[in-house]
Structure 1
Amino acid sequence: MANPIGLSHSTGRSLGNSFCTAVALTLNVLILLSSTGVQAQFVPPGVRSVELDEQLDIPLNNGSQGEERNQADSFMRLGGQAQRQGNYAQAIANWLQALNIYQRMGDVEGEGLTYDYIGVTYAKIGRYQQAEDALRRRVGIARSRQDFQGQIYGLNNLGTILLESGSPESAQQTFAQALTIARSIKHRAGEGLSLSNLGLAAAARGDYFEAIKRYEAALVLRNQWDDAQGEGNTRNNLGDAYRAVNAHKAALIAYQGGLRLSQATRDIPNQFRALRGLVQSYSALKQYPAALKILEQHRTLAQKQANRREELLSLRLTAQIYSTTGNWATARTLYEEAIVLANALGETQEEAFLRNDLAQIIYYRMSN
């Protein structure tokens, strides 16, 4: 693997208060895998297992102006608007326009920031090669500026892309570099993030006990740094790892913490993650009433968020529990409801699985 170089979000430009706020809330994100392969088994088609949800909010404070600068900054704003609306292709197109202007001006700082946004957004749509290329360019700029904090976060971004694109060993090396830099400058938030991501790399290799060790070390730092959103994500990761080694009671504690923190920070993706994990853990312990109670929360949240794929998951898991406990009539009703929803969503594979499960229930009832 090429030697990964640092990525920086710490630009110094002033693009206006409203734009800076939008950037901090929607664009300055650190990519974190939200699940192991174990969790992905319980996510229906179309529900992303990767969340771009950890943010780095670094103030922008450089006041250089000019007509070209204003034009480039305008493209940045348009890109941010498109990104918040989910139009990632248009967002990238706008940022490429801004990038061209910054390069023409010789504005290395603006160029680096733009590469950051482009790389993260390419990753959101699964174009990992383009994401990696953009982020490597971005991290090169950070390293040339001797921006150590930027290198910490950049290496974590780059490592996560490598991890998701199927290179866990390279990802581990990249996260380890970030950890070394974080410890060398006593950057506790970066150390916690790097340890959490090293846990993800270990989980991707199937080494769940190593993952648990990394997650627990990360939690100490994230709690000390008062990083509630990061801590919630790591607790969910820890729950995944405990569940993978059949330590379901420990997983329950981890997911409960993840749910509490994600609710406090209004982190909807991690709320879904924690609720799914709790359902699976209670089910593994045969505590079905508790699992059904959590599923009610899950479905309520899905309906409130108009997230029909998570609602489909609620129906399927609820139907499975009723089937397991011998309540065939309720299970059949839920499967039929889930089939209608899967059909409406165009989830043909999920619909086929649901029809197969329903057929087994019908056959079992007819033969008994």
Structure 2
Amino acid sequence: MTSPLLPVASEESPLKVDMQTTQNRANEILASNSVSISSLAKWDFPPQPNPQLTFLAQAQTNQDRADEALQLYQKGTDQLNRGEFREALATFDQVLVIFRKIGARQGEGNTLNNLGAVYHNLGQYQQAFDYYQRALAIRQEIGDRTFEGTTLNNLGVTYDNLGQYQKAFDYYQRALAIRQEIGDSAGEGATLNNLGVAYHKLGQYQQALDYSQRALAIRQEIGDRSGEGTTLNNLGGVYYNLGQYQQALNYYQQALAIRQEIDDLAGEGTTLNNLGGVYYNLGQYQQALDYYQQALAIRQEIDDRSGEGTTLNNFGLVYDNLGQYQKALDYYQQSLVIKQEIGNRLGEGTTLNNLGLVYKNLGQYQKALNYYQQSLFIKQEIGDRAGEGRTLNNLGSLYDNLGQYQQALDYYQQALVIRQEIGDRAGEGRTLNNLGSLYDNLGQYQQALDYYQQALVIAQEIGDRTGEGSTFNNLGSLYDNLGQYQQALDYYQQALVIKQEIGDLADEGATLNNIGFLLEAQNQLELAIIFFKQSVNVREEIRDKIKTLPTEIQQSYTETIDHTYRNLADLLLKQNRVLEAQQVLDLLKVQELEDYLRGVRG
């Protein structure tokens, strides 16, 4: 009997890394506005048509109100920098009333802009957009070029987060032109950073690196510590998506040190989340969970809805890989609610993809297909190339499992083209592995071997332990099918070490099962029974963790792994160990044992 393969369908969400694209804009906005507001209090009042004494009295009154507005404005600035978004909202609302009352147009524009920043940080992008547009109209009306650049930049950020990348690029380029023209180095650094983020989201990693490096050079040169932390974080994100995890860790650690030093809570939450993502991809799940827990605590504390949705999604990824499907579903559903609520299309597409993955692992293929198709629609609609490649790969894996190999091949080929085109090394390795699995299933072993070897080189090169373990398992299966049992056993053992080391229960159970098949083929029945029993124990651990799921889902999962139980029972019966066989079959709740026994013995 051929061994089951491990096509790496456990494709992660790209937004384990959520690039910090709002807090840096908020800081940049506030730093520049503080200068403008100070001067505003001195001369930006409209002339009054009253007699001289009344005019002087009103001027003094306006000055008093302006001083009050400045104090409140600084308070709002501090609240925004600390991530106290609800409090900042209330404070800036008060400021806006005062500036309108005294006719301070520049102050009104600045406050509208910052209210946009608050709503942006709250993930309420449509409201952010509305405030930015009102701010832009005032700034263009009064000829305020510096802050026109700021608001154009922020509108770019809003479209970026809504997944409307072409509009985002248009606004960023307009902002960059103004900032370079007037010599606004801080603003230029911010917009270069944001262009890097947009290219990152589109999977155009070399352009992302180029813009981010230019931004970093400017920010270090002018001593912009907050901006430096942001761009270091984003460079970590690019290297993460390129599968260069050690470089990603280095950049994230530098970013975290700066953000903790300057008390940037929102930024700290982002980088803690991203460190969790690296450890997740390295298969170090406990460290990943620790970082995610720290990130979630901060994000909930400061009411960062977008960040909270991202980190909840990432918890789901870890528990999915640990075979704790109920927990994974719970976290994904919480994440999806938030992302849909705040209009985060990119994040919504990611979490829909991940929900599909859980249902695929549970054997609920129609549900998985529905989620994947919803995800693919969003990703293609918003131009998320990296995400599109990920979901195409997962659709291929689903059809592979259903034995519909031509459809699987079509999806894998589409995924591979995208991943190679955008330089997604980790994703390329996963899809190469899956193509190997497909050709293995078709009995085209030389082609399968070629793909597996390419996948293994990439996985080892970038430190992708999950992918490496799966490809080792699949190489074992291939040599098993070729009757080269010693080579097969060597690969299986290497796979098993990795799967146990990283805590991947589902794949550990599969590899133990495969070793059992191999030993059975060599007539080493006692050893085969030992490995089948270990596989059953692992799978019982997973089943125990999904007991709260509906019975139908529990049963569909059991159907994906019941061959291990039946093979074990078969071997035990051949040795007349009927009671042990009964116990194994009882785990499957098989009531008609006699029918089964007749089938085995006949």
* TM-score in same-fold range (> 0.5): yes
Q: Is the 8 A contact 1:303 1:311 kept in 2?
A: no
Aligned equivalents of 1:126, 1:322: Cα separation in 2: 34
Please list, as runs of the form range in 1=range in 2, the aligned pairs for 1:252-331 lying within 5 A after superposition: 252-284=249-281, 287-289=282-284, 291-300=285-294, 302-303=296-297, 307=301, 312=312, 315-323=315-323, 331=324
Paired residue secondary structure (1:86): helix
Look up the match of 1:131. Answer: 131
In the other structure, the counterpart of 1:6 is: none
Letter of the structure 2 residue corresponding to residue 270 of structure 1: G
1:115 aligns with 2:112: yes
- Whichever residue aligns with residue 130 of structure 2, its letter is Q
- CA distance in 2 between counterparts of 1:179 and 1:225 reads 17
Q: What displacement does 1:230 show?
A: 0.9
Taking a change above 3 Å as real, the CA distance of residues 309 and 157 of structure 1, as seen in their structure-2 partners, is: closer
Q: Residue in 2 aligned with 1:51?
A: 22
Q: 1:356 to 1:268 in 2, by over 3 A?
A: farther
Deviations, residues 250-277 of structure 1 (Å, cap 9, x unaligned): 3333323222222222222222322332
Distance change (3 Å), C-alpha of 1:277 and 1:209: same
Shift of 1:109: 2.7
Question: d(CA) in 1 for partners of 2:265 and 2:86?
Answer: 16
TM-score under structure 2 length normalisation: 0.42
Check the 8 A contact 2:320/2:358 in 1, yes or no.
no
- 1:118 deviation in Å? 3.6
* Contact 2:236 2:252 (8 Å CA) reproduced: yes
2: CA distance, partners of 1:340 / 1:355: 11
Kindly state the Cα deviation for residue 132 of structure 1 after the two structures are TM-superposed. 3.6
User: Does 2:15 align with 1:40?
Assistant: yes
How far 1:234 moved relative to its partner? 1.4
Aligned residue number for residue 8 of structure 1:
none
- Counterparts of 2:240 and 2:231, CA distance in 1: 14
Letter of the structure 2 residue corresponding to residue 293 of structure 1: Q
Higher Cα Rg, which structure = 2
1:249: how far off? 3.7
Whole-angstrom CA distance in 2 between matches of 1:300 and 1:161: 27
Distance 1:356 1:74, change over 3 A: farther
Quote how far apart the aligned CAs of 1:301 are: 5.3
Partner of 1:187: 184
Q: Which residue identity lines up with residue 157 of structure 1 in the other structure? A: N
Counterpart of 2:286, as a letter, is: L
Question: Structure 1 residues 94, 346: CA separation in 2 closer, same or farther (over 3 Å shift)?
Answer: same
- Could you tell me how far apart the structure 1 residues matched to 2:195 and 2:311 are? 32
Q: Does the CA contact (< 8 Å) of 2:269 and 2:298 recur in 1?
A: no
Deviates more, 1:65-74 or 1:171-180: 65-74
Distance 1:38 1:238, change over 3 A: farther
Number of positions where the alignment pairs a residue of Structure 1 with one of Structure 2: 309
Cα deviations by residue, 1:91-112 (Å, 9 ceiling, x for unpaired): 675455335414xx4x333332
Distance 1:358 1:69 in 2: 66
Whole-angstrom CA distance in 1 between matches of 2:261 and 2:208:
25
Q: 1:97 to 1:41 in 2, by over 3 A?
A: same
C-alpha distance in 2, partners of 1:245/1:251?
9
Distance change >3 Å, CA 239–CA 85, structure 1 → 2:
closer
CA distance in 1, matches of 2:208, 2:85: 35
Contact preservation (8 Å) 1:39, 1:240: no
> What is the letter of the counterpart of residue 204 of structure 2?
D
Q: 2:98 aligns to what?
A: 98
CA deviations 1:65-99 (Å, max 9, x no partner) are: 54356557767839949984616775675455335
Shift of 1:339: 4.4
Alpha carbons of 1:95 and 1:118: their partners in 2 closer, same or farther (altered >3 Å)? farther
- Indicate the residue corresponding to 1:67 in structure 2: 61
Identical counterparts, % of pairs: 21
User: Which piece of structure 1 moves more, 166-175 or 356-365?
Assistant: 356-365
Contact 1:113 1:138 survives alignment (8 Å): no
For the residues of structure 1 that align with 2:119 and 2:90, how far apart are their CA atoms?
Answer: 11
Contact persistence 1:215–1:237 (CA under 8 A): yes
Q: CA deviation at 1:214?
A: 0.7
CA distance in 1, matches of 2:162, 2:202: 13
Q: 210, 215, 240: which is aligned to 1:218?
A: 215
Answer yes or no: is the 8 Å Cα contact 1:258–1:274 preserved in 2.
yes
Report whether the alignment pairs 1:237 with 2:212. Answer: no
Q: For residue 157 of structure 1, report the CA deviation from its aligned partner.
A: 1.9
Structure 2 CA distance, aligned partners of 1:269 and 1:94?
A: 24
Structure 1: gaps of 5 or more residues: 1-36, 324-330
Q: CA deviation at 1:215?
A: 0.6
Residues in 2 aligned to 1:121 and 1:348: alpha-carbon distance in whole angstroms? 17
- CA-based RMSD: 4.4
- Aligned partner of residue 251 in structure 1, secondary structure: helix
Amino acid of the residue matched to residue 262 of structure 2? T
Task: Note if contact 2:156-2:172 (Cα within 8 Å) is conserved in structure 1.
Answer: yes
Aligned CA distance change for structure 1 residues 346 and 261 (closer, same or farther; 3 Å):
same
Using a 3 Å threshold, how does the CA distance of structure 1 residues 221 and 339 change in structure 2: closer, same or farther? same
Provide the C-alpha distance between the structure 1 equivalents of 2:66 and 2:277, rounded to a whole number of angstroms: 48
* Shift in alpha-carbon separation, 1:251–1:96, aligned structure 2, 3 A: same
Structure 2: stretches of 5+ with no match in the other structure: 1-11, 44-58, 302-307, 341-350, 364-541, 544-556, 565-602
Q: Does structure 2 retain, via aligned residues, the 8 Å contact 1:152–1:181?
A: yes
Q: Quote the Cα distance in structure 1 between the aligned partners of 2:86 and 2:322.
A: 37
Q: Does 1:246 align with 2:243?
A: yes
Over 3 Å counting, the alpha-carbon distance change for 1:348 and 1:126 in structure 2 is: closer
Note the C-alpha offset of 1:210.
0.9
Report the more deviating stretch, 107-116 or 308-317: 308-317
CA distance in 2, matches of 1:170, 1:274: 27
In structure 2, give the amino acid aligned to 1:199: G
**Does the 8 A contact of 1:135 with 1:158 survive in 2?**
no
What is residue 11 of structure 1 aligned with on the other side? none
Amino acid at match of 1:251: A
Alpha carbons of 1:358 and 1:131: their partners in 2 closer, same or farther (altered >3 Å)? same
SS of residue paired to 2:86: coil
One-letter code of the match for 2:256? Answer: L
Mapped to 1, the partners of 2:156 and 2:331 lie a distance apart of 40
1:130 deviation in Å? 1.2
Amino acid at match of 1:130: D
**Residue type of the alignment partner of 2:137:** R
Match of residue 200, structure 1, among 197, 201, 213: 197
In terms of fraction of residues, the more helix-rich structure is 2
Comparing 170-179 with 190-199, greater Cα deviation is found at: 170-179
Alpha carbons of 1:346 and 1:195: their partners in 2 closer, same or farther (altered >3 Å)? closer
Determine if contact 1:239/1:251 at 8 Å carries over to the other structure: yes
* Amino acid corresponding to residue 131 of structure 2 in structure 1: A
CA 1:342 to 1:70, structure 2 compared with 1: closer, same or farther past 3 Å? farther
